[in-house]
A and B are shown apart, each in its own frame.
Chain A
């Protein structure tokens, strides 16, 4: 199986996540798109682990997953806090810091 197949799939997943981050206004959907982008990076890591026969790259996937879990916990807590204050999770509404 050529390595480009897996990397191409990774690129497509990354771009779909990228479009989600750029175009969607719902904070939860932006978060899910971010997860998709993490996932595509992980797929590239595992592909190269196989290609170079280095299991170390798989550990990085493990670390990325842990950081993603921490990030989701904090991010969803922030979304809940923002929703309590604004009754909305539209990212356009969160503009209090704008001068």
Chain B
């Protein structure tokens, strides 16, 4: 039991440290790598919460695909070292107030509820297994699943359209219209 608390504390500490590292790091590549570490650690927490399918999806989709995309864009734009700009004093104050407003109710709620609710239990291995999740996904949530597939198709087309450069013909036409 105590061992579980120690493991949880270690992982939680590392999650907070990597999240803060992402925020503080001046080099965008380091930020992205900190975030990969953060996602992987959160995936370990998912395992302990009885969600192995979600944990593996997190590693392959988030820590794998999405962060590779981020690193790719960072390298492509050559924006590893962006000129550091001090945020406006005013902005920092407003941000502090907003963070306080978010943190205060959450902290009050969590501290007041400590001990009032039953603790989490270790679920049986079937809970959250790929078989269970797949069963629910393809029976109860078939329509959302199809909608999500369509959304990914739209996103793919959108990404291609947004980054498309002009075709050679369009460039020639633009030059000719400039000449006139």
Which A residues contact B (CB, under 8 angstroms)? 1-9, 11-20, 22-26, 28-29, 31-33, 35-36, 39, 42-43, 46-47, 49-51, 53, 55-56, 58-59, 61-63, 65-74, 76-81, 83, 89-90, 92
Interface of B is mostly: helix
Interface of A is mostly: helix
Quick check: A89 and B82 within 8 Å, CB to CB? Answer: yes
Residue in A closest to B162 when the chains form the complex, CB atoms: A77
Q: How distant is the Cα of A9 from the Cα of B154 in the complex, in angstroms?
A: 34
CB-based closest 6 A-B pairs: A70-B155, A77-B162, A22-B95, A77-B159, A16-B19, A11-B106
Q: How distant is the Cα of A62 from the Cα of B60 in the complex, in angstroms?
A: 12
Q: How distant is the Cα of A28 from the Cα of B154 in the complex, in angstroms?
A: 22
**Cβ-based interface call for B175 (8 A):** no
Quick check: A8 and B110 within 8 Å, CB to CB? Answer: yes
Q: Specify which chain B residues have a CB less than 8 angstroms from the CB of A42 in the assembled complex.
A: 42, 54, 58
Residue contacts A-B, CB under 8 angstroms, 23 given: A1-B8, A20-B23, A22-B98, A24-B23, A24-B87, A26-B28, A32-B22, A32-B35, A33-B23, A46-B45, A53-B127, A58-B128, A66-B152, A67-B151, A70-B151, A73-B69, A73-B159, A74-B159, A76-B159, A77-B159, A80-B162, A81-B163, A89-B82
